Structure 1
């Protein structure tokens, strides 16, 4: 009896792996369901409904007559939820990060749980994108050739499933960027954050100027035309890895607000 009690006590006193709290860090982002569930879903369906309403209205009033299979209506409202989730990811850095420190999560555990939460939300958005695109395809744009998700430049190259993969990859990349910008602010302060952002803007402007001065836009257009949804999704991975790795380096010394 004493041997059993001693062994049980010794086992309970063994230190737990720090990664044992990763599931709790993952669940932390879903404790308030409006954060990564209700609000993004509201934006998803509201943007979809607004795009459909505009398409149906134009179908009735435009001089050329109703939309046809040769002249359909395409809307870009499917991206609205991506930018919403970027804001929510920034919110996770500004609000959930300090809360996680109060709960004695290590920064590494919190970051792993955060990345897993972002990956789950991005995958869910990819699935919703696929289902919505399938609905538009089987109904011929709800009988009026109005499309918000089944867009040719997304679905023709790799199919609807490939477009869903691209949607999920873009969502993950944008969420990591939104999260990383706030961590950058917590680590380096407002002035240095804007210095970095303005520096990136200058680099983009210089790249645009070089492409324009060297008549490079046709080559850029050809490169994009040669890509598929799957290859574009692969191109988001280096950005996600760089941003995710940089955020890990910064959060180790970031001061929660």
Structure 2
């Protein structure tokens, strides 16, 4: 338990990398869109996908984290188990904090009619629907999913190297192409589209939970068997 807590402290001591930098990236994108929205007269306001930048960064940071801190942590006699659970706990903590910040910004944006210039950056239709617990859950689950997606890819690279991850993406391409062809050939796109249209943002986000658990289990297994 003490070693797991030490991993959490190791990560949280680098608050710039974990928390400040993604907010800086998000803020830069926001202010650019704010200026654009103030300069144009778009009926209904300006809708932007700039919010995605913080989620993309979450996936990137997880891959960087494993490559930079995994060998370092093991050098101080930390077990692979402690490293995994400490890093996973940090990801949960950061996802909760970031999700809360995004909710507050979304609420403020909605209360000010898009910051006075009709900018829809944090408060987006569908994504921001529902009560507070739904909005917080959607942000949290999507952020945690992308973190563990990056985590499992970094663990795959750590375990099998360049050859292993190249084979993985090749297989992923084959499977994705096959499924795409099947959807078109068998005309599954209409029932899939109907099903998606009936789902809420929280309902779709809930499907990420088994994926998060799968990524976590796979990451743990590969880190346990990887070389430093």
For Structure 1 versus Structure 2, the TM-score category normalised by the shorter chain is over 0.9
> What is the Cα deviation at residue 117 of structure 1?
0.4
Between the aligned partners of 1:48 and 1:167, the Cα distance in structure 2 is 17
Give the equivalent residue in structure 1 for 2:13: 31
Aligned residues: 228
> What is the Cα deviation at residue 128 of structure 1?
1.4
Between the aligned partners of 1:163 and 1:74, the Cα distance in structure 2 is 18
Contact 1:165 1:229 in 2 (8 A): no
In structure 2, which of residues 180, 187, 194 is the aligned counterpart of residue 208 of structure 1? 180
| Structure whose CA Rg is larger | 1
Deviations 1:170-210 (A, max 9, x none): 11111111121111111111111110122112212211111
Give the equivalent residue in structure 1 for 2:73: 100
Between the aligned partners of 2:94 and 2:128, the Cα distance in structure 1 is 21
Between the aligned partners of 1:182 and 1:35, the Cα distance in structure 2 is 17
Between the aligned partners of 1:99 and 1:120, the Cα distance in structure 2 is 22
In structure 1, which of residues 175, 183, 186 is the aligned counterpart of residue 155 of structure 2? 183
What TM-score comes out, normalization by structure 1 length? 0.84
**SS of equivalent residue, structure 1 residue 197:** helix
In structure 2, which of residues 51, 56, 60 is the aligned counterpart of residue 78 of structure 1? 51
Q: Which structure 1 segments of 5+ residues have no match? A: 1-18, 60-65
Q: Does 1:154 align with 2:127?
A: yes
> What is the Cα deviation at residue 160 of structure 1?
5.0
Between the aligned partners of 2:46 and 2:131, the Cα distance in structure 1 is 19
Give the equivalent residue in structure 2 for 1:243: 215
1:51/1:97 CA distance change after superposition, 3 Å:
same
> What is the Cα deviation at residue 135 of structure 1?
0.9
Between the aligned partners of 1:80 and 1:178, the Cα distance in structure 2 is 15
> What is the Cα deviation at residue 112 of structure 1?
0.3
1:229/1:27 CA distance change after superposition, 3 Å:
same
What TM-score comes out, normalization by structure 2 length? 0.94
In structure 1, which of residues 102, 116, 121 is the aligned counterpart of residue 94 of structure 2? 121
Q: Does 1:22 align with 2:4?
A: yes
Runs (4 or more) in structure 1 with deviation over 6 Å come to none
Q: Structure 1 stretch 110-119 or stretch 180-189: which is displaced more?
A: 180-189
Give the equivalent residue in structure 2 for 1:15: none
Give the equivalent residue in structure 2 for 1:10: none
**SS of equivalent residue, structure 2 residue 70:** helix
Provide the aligned C-alpha RMSD in A: 1.5
1:203/1:48 CA distance change after superposition, 3 Å:
same
